[in-house]
């Protein structure tokens, strides 16, 4: 029996029933930009960076199931411009001062922006006031850089079984909240070895005393584009999930 197949930018991609477009693309070595998706967790579908055109309609590749005969557009000027605009909006709604951020060079938001050719943020900046939580001895929570991808929420709930994080509020009032009576990280059972401390794509959740360990020029995205790095990291995870 031939395996079901669809096309990405005209290139045939075979897939396993039940895979999303993102998973099938990753397994086939095709990079679709994404931020809130990490193949280790259930998809969330919130950042929309992975927007692709499926049979002419915009869909989130990380949640949309692959189907036989689909025609998917991914690497087009129009979609990449849309993704760049989304990235610019993410930059203006938080406080991203890359030159003084420990995550710089290892940050997926920054690397996606490089990949998409973003040289400015275009929109007026919000400069929101967000609370920093340095209460935990080993973990820093810098909400200025949070992009509400909910990866820490999923990791803490589904892997660590601790339910430490949630996204509270709506729209522009969204904020990352911490599940303890005081609302402080120090009063939760989170530990530096938890999965939830390792999945933040940006510099919002950091392990203390490791900042600026890797010199400029040798950091992850100094040496690889996010396309190269994410395919290398995620392909084996998708393979292990779907065989």
Q: Which is nearer to ligand SF4, 138 or 242 (CB)?
A: 138
Binding residue (CB under 6 A) for ligand FES from 25, 35, 146, 204: 35
The beta strands (E) that lie in the chain are given as: 5-8, 11-14, 51-54, 57-60, 71-73, 132-133, 139-142, 165-168, 175-178, 205-207
25: enclosing H helix or E strand: helix 21-27
| 45 sits near ligand FES (criterion: CB under 6 A) | yes
For residue 5, the number of C-alpha atoms closer than 13 Å in the C-beta half-sphere is 8
Residue 154 lies near ligand SF4 (rule: CB under 6 A): no
Task: Give the list of residues 6+ apart from residue 155 with CB closer than 8 angstroms, or none.
Answer: 41, 194, 195, 196, 198, 199
Radius of gyration of the chain, Cα coordinates, nearest whole angstrom: 18
Binding of residue 164 to ligand SF4 (CB under 6 A): no
Residue 167 vs residues 61, 143, 203, 207: alpha-carbon distances, Å: 23, 11, 17, 21
Interaction of residue 98 with ligand SF4, rule CB under 6 A: yes
Within positions 105 to 124, which residues make up the interface with another protein, using CB under 8 A?
105, 110, 113-115, 117-122, 124
Tell me how far the alpha carbon of residue 49 is from its chain's centroid. 9
Considering the complex, state which of residue 61 and residue 141 has its C-beta at the smaller distance from ligand FES: 61
Residue closest to 44 by CA, chosen among 66, 60, 30, 67: 60
Counting contacts by CB under 6 A, is residue 36 touching ligand FES?
A: yes
202 makes contact, choosing from ligand SF4, another protein, ligand FES, none, with CB < 5 to 8 Å by partner type, with: ligand SF4
Q: Contact between 31 and another protein (CB under 8 A)?
A: no
From residue 46 to residue 75, what is the string marking binding to ligand FES with x (rule CB under 6 A)? xxxxx---------x-x-------------
* Closer residue to another protein, CB minimum distance, 122 or 210: 122
Applying CB under 8 A, the residues found at the interface with another protein are: 91, 95-101, 104-105, 110, 113-115, 117-122, 124-125, 127-130, 216, 225
């Amino acid at each position: 029996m031939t395996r079901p197949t669809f096309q990405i930018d005209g290139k045939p991609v075979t897939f396993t029933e039940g895979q999303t477009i993102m998973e099938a693309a990753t397994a086939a070595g095709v990079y679709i930009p994404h931020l809130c998706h990490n193949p280790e967790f259930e998809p969330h579908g919130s950042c929309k960076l992975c927007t692709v055109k499926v049979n002419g309609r915009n869909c989130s590749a990380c949640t949309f199931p692959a189907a036989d005969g689909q025609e998917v557009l991914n690497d087009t000027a129009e979609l990449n411009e849309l993704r760049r605009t989304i990235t610019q909006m993410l930059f203006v709604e938080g406080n991203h001062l890359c030159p003084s951020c420990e995550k710089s060079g290892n940050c997926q938001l920054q690397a996606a922006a490089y990949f998409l050719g973003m040289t400015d943020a275009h929109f007026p900046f919000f400069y929101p006031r967000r609370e920093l939580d340095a209460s935990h001895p080993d973990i820093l929570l810098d909400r200025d850089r949070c992009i509400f991808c909910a990866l820490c929420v999923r990791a803490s709930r589904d892997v660590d079984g601790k339910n430490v994080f949630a996204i509270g509020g709506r729209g522009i009032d969204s904020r990352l909240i911490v599940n303890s009576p005081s609302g402080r990280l120090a009063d939760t059972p989170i530990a530096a070895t938890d999965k939830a401390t390792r999945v933040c794509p940006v510099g919002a959740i950091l392990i203390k005393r490791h900042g600026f360990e890797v010199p400029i020029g040798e950091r992850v995205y100094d040496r690889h584009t996010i396309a190269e790095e994410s395919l290398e990291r995620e392909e084996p995870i998708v393979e292990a999930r779907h065989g």
